[in-house]
Every structure is written in C-alpha cells, then in structure tokens.
Structure 1
Amino acid sequence: MGAPKLAPVTSITPTSSPILLSPVELCERVPGLTVAALKEQRKRGDGPPYMKANARAVVYDWTDYLEWLSSTKRTSTDRFGERS
C-alpha cells in the first residue's frame, strides 16, 4: 500500500479576499494619517503601495499597507535611523 493519491490542483484561490480601502477609509483606520499625506506620498513615490481601480479611484490593500508600515519602523528620530 502506498500513499493516497491526491487530486491535481486546478486552481489556487486565496483563503480570504483582500480588504481594499479608499484613501478616506484607510485614514479612518490609521490615527494621524490624512488623505493629503497619502496623495503627497503617491506623488513622491515613497508611500504605501496602491492600485488604480479606474482612471480616478485609488485603493489600498490593507495587508499591503500593514507590510509597508512595518517596513518603516525606526529606532531613532534621525532621518536615516542612525546617529551622526
């Protein structure tokens, strides 16, 4: 007797749907965050990842935002996280 045969995987679906938020909805979840700050970060290219739902609508994936936020952790108030 061998190992049981498994059915082939025909498609992979995520276990849960992404939580997509408008800039206003994201700001409601994050204290101190403003729509204007998000817009400026998009212009500079240094903010959280975002998607264009259409020509005018911007949306943020909540999980992507949390990962981006985690990547901005600091241990110092110095701009580069190091003392000169």
Structure 2
Amino acid sequence: MSHDIPPPPGSAPDDARLRGALSPAEAGRYIGDFKVTTLERWRKRGIGPAYVQVNGKSIVYRVSDLDEWLAANVVRPGESGGAV
C-alpha cells in the first residue's frame, strides 16, 4: 500500500499533500473488503467516505478520512438508534 506519497517539487504545505493516500482498491480493503464498484456507487450517491479527486479524474482516499468515516459509523449494541 502507498501510505506516504512524497509531494511534488514546489507543492503546497502538508494539507495539500496526499499523505496516506490510497487507491480505491486499497481503500476498499482498508475499510472492510469493499469492492471498487461499491466505492464508485457510493461516490455517485454522495455517501461513503470522503475522497480526493486529483486532476479532475483520479480518485484517492486519505487514510485519515477513512478512519474518520469508520469512527462515525460505529454501532454500539444496546444503545438507542443501533442496528437491529
């Protein structure tokens, strides 16, 4: 997995670097063995984890965004609003 992509020469500071950027296939495996087509469908529907669109075409996912999405979707059994 490509967890740390070096910034190109003359690039912007840290937040613009794609630190920990994963391809859709890597991101799918990271969050639980989801297929690329599932992530694609989620993007089209406006759901799922945040992603970065590079040069108007390529899609990458930052590990920090995937971790945030996973944390936001934790279900604690026995608490109200949890899945049945």
Normalising by the residue count of structure 1, what TM-score does the alignment of the two structures yield? 0.64
When residues 57 and 73 of structure 1 are mapped into structure 2, their CA distance, relative to the original with a 3 A threshold, is same
For these two proteins, the number of residue pairs brought into alignment is: 67
Maintained 8 Å contact 2:24/2:60: yes
Give the Cα–Cα distance (whole angstroms) in 1 for the partners of residues 32 and 83 of structure 2. 26
Map residues 4-83 of structure 1 onto 2, 5 A cutoff: 18-76=19-77, 80-81=81-82
Output the amino acid matched with 2:37. Answer: A
Q: Name the % identity.
A: 31
| Partner in structure 2 of residue 4 of structure 1 | none
Residues 17-47 of structure 1 show CA distances to partners (whole Å, capped at 9, x for unaligned) of 7201110121233432110110111111111
Structure having the higher Rg: 1
**Residue identity opposite 1:41 in structure 2:** W
Determine the C-alpha separation between the residues in 2 that align with 1:13 and 1:29.
23
Kindly provide the amino acid, as one letter, of the partner of residue 61 in structure 2: Y
Check whether the contact 2:19–2:62 (CA below 8 A) recurs between aligned residues: yes
Unaligned 5+ segments in structure 2 are 1-12
Tell me the distance in 1 between the aligned counterparts of 2:26 and 2:33.
Answer: 13
Shift in CA distance, 27/81, structure 1 to aligned 2, threshold 3 Å:
same
